């Protein structure tokens, strides 16, 4: 009976891990991010302060999948998650938002702090590309937005809008 109880406890921990994390990358999933955004929104409205969101879209993932296979695309996604986990702070929430999109929620972070995190992520992608010169290149378009209690309800949408503006500007260059 003890062995069964221990096995059940282990299975419950695994279920909880799977419920909050993306299976491919190991970072938090969209559901967990949405709950964290709700908590952050409540905290900001109640106590004030700021929070920032960084929205990232891995560049050319479809092209990598089509040209090199889905295993190469999966590697890019896992590498992006690893870069985010290496470069973001312990207090940040790193999540896979969708197919090729990641979000970093940075509670109690102003614009300057968010920009520093974004710069670290860009440096992390450069280091990753230096370690994998023969593989597909990792790059991403980023959008950052900082809000206080009054504007926190649209923080994710605004960061997403800014990321797409960056992507469009980069495509014109």
Residue located via tokens 């997403």: 160
Beta bridge partners of residue 21, listed in sequence order: 28
Give the H/E segment covering residue 37: helix 30-47
Give the H/E segment covering residue 101: strand 101-107
Question: Is the dihedral angle over the CA atoms 107, 85, 27, 8 positive or is it negative?
Answer: negative
Is 79 marked active-site? Answer: no
Which of 57, 79, 100, 160 is the catalytic position? Answer: 100
SS3 120: helix
DSSP assignments along 42-60, one per residue: HHHHHH--EEEEEEEEETT
Active site residues: 100
């Amino acid at each position: 009976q003890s062995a069964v109880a221990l096995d059940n406890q282990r299975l419950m921990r695994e279920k909880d891990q799977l419920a909050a994390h993306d299976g491919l990358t190991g970072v938090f999933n969209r559901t967990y991010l949405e709950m964290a955004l709700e908590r952050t929104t409540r905290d900001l409205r109640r106590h004030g302060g700021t929070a920032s969101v960084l929205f990232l879209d891995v560049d050319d993932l479809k092209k990598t999948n089509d040209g090199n296979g889905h295993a190469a695309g999966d590697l890019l996604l896992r590498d992006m998650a690893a870069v985010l986990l290496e470069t973001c702070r312990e207090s940040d929430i790193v999540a896979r938002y969708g197919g090729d999109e990641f979000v970093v929620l940075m509670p109690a972070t102003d614009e300057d702090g968010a920009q520093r995190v974004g710069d670290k992520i860009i440096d992390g992608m450069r280091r990753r590309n230096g370690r994998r010169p023969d593989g597909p290149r990792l790059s991403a378009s980023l959008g950052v937005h900082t809000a206080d209690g009054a504007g926190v309800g649209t923080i994710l949408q605004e960061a997403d809008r800014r990321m797409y503006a960056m992507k469009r500007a980069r495509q014109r260059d």
